Amino acid sequence: MCAWSSTSLARALDPSAAQHHQHAHSMHAHSTLSTGHQPLQQRQQAMPQSILGLDIGSASIKIAQIARHDDGTFTVERQAARPVPRGAIYDGHIDEKERLRVAQILADMVAEEKFSTRDVIFGLNSSASVFMDQMDIPVMDPADLDKAMPYLIEASQDGLNSHENGFSWSVVGEVETDHGPRLRVLVYRCFEQYAEETARVVEKAGLRVVGTDLNALAALRAISIQTRPLREVDAIVDIGANVLSLMLHHNGVPKTLTLDADNAGEVATQQVLEAMDLDEGQEDHAEFLKINDDHAFGIVAQARNAYTASLASRIAGVLRSAVERSDDIDAIASVTLVGGGALIAGLGHGLHEALGGVPLAFAAWDPAITDPQGGSPIRQEPRSGGDYLVAVGLGTGDVF
C-alpha cells in the first residue's frame, strides 16, 4: 500500500521550493502503490478543503489540521498531541497487540480536539521499512520511464520485488556520467505490509486515508528553504524517540536520506534511567529529567552529555560520508534540527563542534504556512515531547 501520492513527491522535489513552496508539479513523478484490498486512489476523488496530517511517533501522536488555499498557502487550523504507551510503537511500527489501543487513542484525540475533517495523510518513518535510493538510468521520455522504472528498480537489488514493496520515484534531472548522459532518479520504497498495517489502525479510528508520505519529505515541505550555490547542501536532522532521520537537500531537492534506530532519543532516556539507578517502569521520569534537568553538572548531565557526544559523532559521520561519496556535493551549508530530541541540552554545541563549525538552527516554518492570525504556528508540545513540524508538512501533501 505504501501509497504516498506522486504529486506529493514532485512538490518536495521542485527546485522552485527555494523561493516558495507553491510546488508546481514540474518534475516527473510516479506512484504505483495501492493497498492489498481496495486501491487508496479510489477512496478519495475530490481534494478536501482541510486535511489532517498524522505523525505517529514512538513517544506521541501528533495531528495538525491544515486548510489548503487556492494560492498555494496553508493555514494550521488546529494541532494536538497525545502520548502513546511506551513500547506500543517502535521504529514506526505499531505493535500488533497495541493496535486497538492506539486506534482508540487516535479516535478519542480527534473527538476531544474537535477536528472538523476525517481525511488523513499519514507519515511513514521506519529505518527497517522505508528507503530512499538514487539511480542513474538511460535517458528516456516520460511514457517509457513509467513502464521501465518498476523493472529497473527490481533489477537494482537482488530479491527486491513489487509484491512486497511499494515504489515511488521522481526525476531530479539529466546528469553527465562516464557512460554518457543519464537521468538521475530518486527512488522511494517501503514494505507494503508496514504501510498497510498503519492504514488499518488509522481507519479503525474512524478516519479516511487520502494520502501517505515520508516523514522526511513532509519536514522538508514544512520548513523555510535557503538558496544555496550549486554544490552546497543543507541537512535536516530529525531526532525522534526511536528513529533518527538525516536528510541532505539542495534548495529543497532531496539528495540523501538515512534512517537510524540505534541512536535516537530513547537511547538517552535509557542512559539517564541507568545513571539514576531507576527501576524499569520509570522511563517517563527519566524522559522528564533528560529534557528538563538544566544542571551543568551531576548524574543526569553526565549521562546526557555522553549521549549527545555520541549522537553528534554519529550524525557528523553520516553527513560527512554522504558528502564524500557524492559526485555533486562539496559542502554542508547548515544543519536544521527537528524533533523532540533536538531539545536535549548540549546537542547543538556538540554537533556544531563535530561538524567543524557548520551553522545550526531550529527549523523555521515555510512562509506559506501560518496560523489563523497570519503568524507562526506552534512548534512544540512540551507535555508530550512532540514536534508538530512533520504533522503540518504531511497535511500540506497531495491526496491520491
> What single string gives the DSSP state of each residue in 123-139?
EE--TTTEEEEEEEEE-
pLDDT of residue 368 exceeding 60: yes
Task: Name the more confident of 34 and 152.
Answer: 152
Share the mean pLDDT of the chain.
84
Helix (H) or strand (E) holding 109: helix 99-112
pLDDT at 358 over 50: yes
Tell me, what's the pLDDT at 382?
Answer: 60
One-letter amino acid identity for 51?
I
CB proximity list for 50: less than 8 A, separation 6 or greater: 65, 66, 67, 68, 77, 116, 117, 119
Average pLDDT estimate for 360-384: 87
56-60, 111-115, 283-287: range with highest mean pLDDT: 111-115
Q: Is the pLDDT of residue 178 over 60?
A: yes
Residue 140 has pLDDT above 80, yes or no: yes
Read off the pLDDT of each residue in 296-320 and give the average, rounded to a whole number.
90
Q: 268 falls in which pLDDT band (50, 70, 90)?
A: confident
Task: Give mean pLDDT, residues 2-27.
Answer: 36
Name the pLDDT band for 390 (thresholds 50, 70, 90): very high
pLDDT-above-90 percentage for the chain = 52
Q: Report how far residue 168's alpha carbon sits from residue 33's, in angstroms, rounded to the nearest whole number.
A: 8
Instruction: Provide the b/e sequence for 252-278 (b: ≥16 CB within 10 Å).
Output: bbbbbbbbbbebbbbbbbebbbebbee
Q: What's the confidence (pLDDT) of residue 12? A: 38
User: Who has greater pLDDT, 358 or 342?
Assistant: 358
**Domains in the chain, ordered, with CATH?**
1-224+371-400 (3.30.420.40), 226-362 (3.30.420.40)
Q: Which cell numbers hold the place of 64?
A: 495538525
Highest average pLDDT, of 128-132, 270-274, 317-321, comes from 317-321
Residue 146 burial (C-beta neighbours within 10 Å; 0-12, 13-18, 19+): middle
